[in-house]
Chain A
Amino acid sequence: MAALAQQSIVEAPQPKTTGYWTGVWRRLRRDPVAIFAGLVILALILMAIFAPYIAPADPYRASSLRRLRPIGTAGYPLGSDELGRDMLSRLIFGARLSLFMGITPVILAFGIGSAIGIFAGYVGGWVNTAIMRTIDVFYAFPSVLLAVALSGALGAGFGNALVSLTVVFVPQIARVAEAVTTQVRSRDYVEAARASGAGGFTIVRVHVLGNVLGPIFVYATSLISVSMILASGLSFLGLGVRPPEPEWGLMLNTLRTAIYVQPWLAALPGVMIFITSIAFNLLADGLRSAMDVKQ
């Protein structure tokens, strides 16, 4: 009977083994909504990169004669703004700054917030309590208010807007990072790693990071849309990008005077913000379900 344990297990043929990311990609591919959202984002990024080649006109060239032309005017497929600049070109070029302002603070906050959250979550105890209560102070302010207050305090400008947006997102990401890390830390495989004598740094590197970065990344992706809207808001209030740079939020601001004259035209930057943010949100949703291993 001792031979029984040595005998290999007989079983039905199993599918070829696959890596984790292969599985995620396979599940993501089956989600048409997420794929569509991903394609929209890809298109927007390509548009931003190749803006000079795509845009029909110079986004800065004003014309005092052809101001606020409606959508569909000859030479101005999407009309012209209050200074007579081509809307289509400005929307295309606007993708550059808008996407940059949307993505950069999130990437920065992802790095900083994850580090804080994973540290607090893994160490636990009073260290965790101290860090997380401090973070909660920031969290208590509505993000719009916090971004506006910080930008106002730091002074208007592109760089300061990025900094204040990053500060807004760090507590949010740190909170999620702390929550998932606390959860992973209580798993038996972390206990088993501790029981085999591994140090905290090794355990975080091998057993924690791989399991928490995914969920944090998904959460961060969903913040990109918030970041874009906040960045637009800052620009709208004159705290972010300054005229005449094309940026969707700023465009919304400067066109607001024309809302009674050309309502559709004035709404165009808003439409772009809406499409982009919803695409990021849908992609984040798709990623979330695709990363669920227990499928």
Chain B
Amino acid sequence: MTEPAIQIRDLRVTFGGVVRAVDGVDLTLHQGEVVALIGESGSGKSVTLRSLMRLHPPRRSRVEGSITVAGRDVLAMSERQLADYRGATVSMIFQEPLLALDPVYTVGEQIAEVIRRHEKASRAEARARALELFQKVRIPSPERRLDAYPHEMSGGMRQRAMIALALACRPKVLLADEPTTALDATVQIQILLLLRELQREFGLSIVFVTHDLGAAVEVADRIAVMYAGRIVEEGSARDLIRDPRHPYTIGLLKSRAEGALAKGSRLDAIPGSPPDLAHLPPGCPFAPRCPLAIEPCRADRPPPIPIGPGHAARCIRTDVSPGLLARHPEPAPA
């Protein structure tokens, strides 16, 4: 058994001393595995992802716990080690490539720059590598596009260019922060397929953050559902879609407008709104919105309850929770 690509133990991230954005996250990612972190805004999914790169400003945030990536302790790295680690071991792609790419350099120059910063490569070698990457991410007429500025490219092309940039130094782990959210449907599926293909080709480990269950299912082997700073349910994509156990996961699945529904029928919405992270209730944070909540739910935070191999939910009512799903027909594949 090789060592895991990413191992997060009891990660806690606090902002401004009060807002507990991440509240005890454990996550293990094996080499060559794709995990999707899904959740709503404020669930802590992006904060968890950024912690893996140590992108939070040290002054305003406190990060506790341990993060090991490719055998190295990320939280103990010096600034210099961190600079080497970012890009070479782990790299990241963002929702809005226009903000992540430098507007005053061509994309080709930016990729070559990154290669030359991390490795000894001549200008010509770096450019050749950039061209190769552009071919890998399926950018049409790559030769010409290398000399384009970010604003001259369409949304889908920019996202491909950013993926090429992220893969420039052959990282082992790719962190993707809602990379397809801002894209049109027909482009989104292309990018999702591209990620899947690159993952296989390079043997990448990917952490894919999204709020869209559909996008997660398209790329991920495993899915971790986050709520109020914790992973409330984790399992293979199949387990999570076919046999969800946490009432929140079930609620997410059931509230989707999916397939043909009778006209005038209502969606099975989760009532209420996500909790205020500065004033979390003492027990399960989902209890105020949960149809199955009982007294012990409001008293203590539930531990992860194992359900099957690699499938666990932080819910003490997993024995009765499948009943929630039965009230509605299972979502039909489109």
Binding site for B on A (CB under 8 A): 1-2, 4, 7, 9-14
CB distance from B220 to the nearest CB of A (A): 31
Q: Does B289 contact A (CB under 8 A)?
A: yes
Listed by A's residue number, 25 A-B pairs whose Cβ atoms lie within 8 Å are A1-B266, A1-B268, A2-B266, A4-B266, A4-B269, A4-B271, A7-B271, A9-B272, A9-B273, A10-B271, A10-B272, A10-B273, A10-B288, A10-B289, A11-B272, A11-B273, A11-B275, A11-B276, A12-B275, A12-B276, A12-B279, A12-B280, A12-B281, A13-B279, A14-B276
Chain A's closest residue to B281 (CB) is A12
Residues of B within 8 A of A11 (CB): 272-273, 275-276
Kindly state the separation between the CA atoms of A137 and B276 in the bound complex, as whole angstroms: 53
Chain A's closest residue to B272 (CB) is A10
Chain A residues touching B, majority SS: loop
Q: How many A-B residue pairs have CB under 8 A?
A: 25
Residues of B within 8 A of A12 (CB): 275-276, 279-281
Chain A's closest residue to B269 (CB) is A4
Residues of B within 8 A of A7 (CB): 271
Chain A's closest residue to B288 (CB) is A10
Q: B278-298 interface mask toward A, CB cutoff 8 Å, 1 = contact, 0 = none?
A: 011100000011000000000
Kindly state the separation between the CA atoms of A7 and B272 in the bound complex, as whole angstroms: 9
Closest 5 CB pairs of A and B: A12-B276, A1-B266, A10-B272, A12-B279, A11-B273
With a 10 A CB-CB cut-off, give which of A7, A10, A13 has the most chain B CB atoms. Answer: A10
Residues of B within 8 A of A13 (CB): 279
CB distance from A3 to the nearest CB of B (A): 10
Chain A's closest residue to B289 (CB) is A10
Chain A's closest residue to B268 (CB) is A1
Q: B174-197 interface mask toward A, CB cutoff 8 Å, 1 = contact, 0 = none?
A: 000000000000000000000000
Residues of B within 8 A of A2 (CB): 266
Kindly state the separation between the CA atoms of A9 and B289 in the bound complex, as whole angstroms: 10
Kindly state the separation between the CA atoms of A162 and B272 in the bound complex, as whole angstroms: 60
Chain A's closest residue to B280 (CB) is A12
Give B255-283 interface residues, CB cut-off 8 Å to A: 266, 268-269, 271-273, 275-276, 279-281
Chain A's closest residue to B279 (CB) is A12
CB distance from B102 to the nearest CB of A (A): 25
Kindly state the separation between the CA atoms of A182 and B257 in the bound complex, as whole angstroms: 39
Kindly state the separation between the CA atoms of A4 and B272 in the bound complex, as whole angstroms: 10
Kindly state the separation between the CA atoms of A1 and B254 in the bound complex, as whole angstroms: 14
Residues of A within 8 A of B266 (CB): 1-2, 4
Residues of B within 8 A of A10 (CB): 271-273, 288-289
Residues of A within 8 A of B276 (CB): 11-12, 14
Q: A11-B273, A13-B279 are in contact. List 4 more A-B contacts (CB 8 A).
A: A1-B266, A9-B272, A9-B273, A12-B279
Kindly state the separation between the CA atoms of A10 and B281 in the bound complex, as whole angstroms: 13
Kindly state the separation between the CA atoms of A193 and B258 in the bound complex, as whole angstroms: 35
Residues of B within 8 A of A1 (CB): 266, 268
CB distance from B285 to the nearest CB of A (A): 10
Residues of A within 8 A of B280 (CB): 12
Residues of B within 8 A of A4 (CB): 266, 269, 271
Chain A's closest residue to B285 (CB) is A12
Residues of B within 8 A of A9 (CB): 272-273
Residues of A within 8 A of B289 (CB): 10
With a 10 A CB-CB cut-off, give which of A7, A11, A12, A13 has the most chain B CB atoms. Answer: A12
CB distance from B289 to the nearest CB of A (A): 7
Residues of A within 8 A of B279 (CB): 12-13
CB distance from B57 to the nearest CB of A (A): 16
Chain A's closest residue to B278 (CB) is A12
Kindly state the separation between the CA atoms of A230 and B281 in the bound complex, as whole angstroms: 59
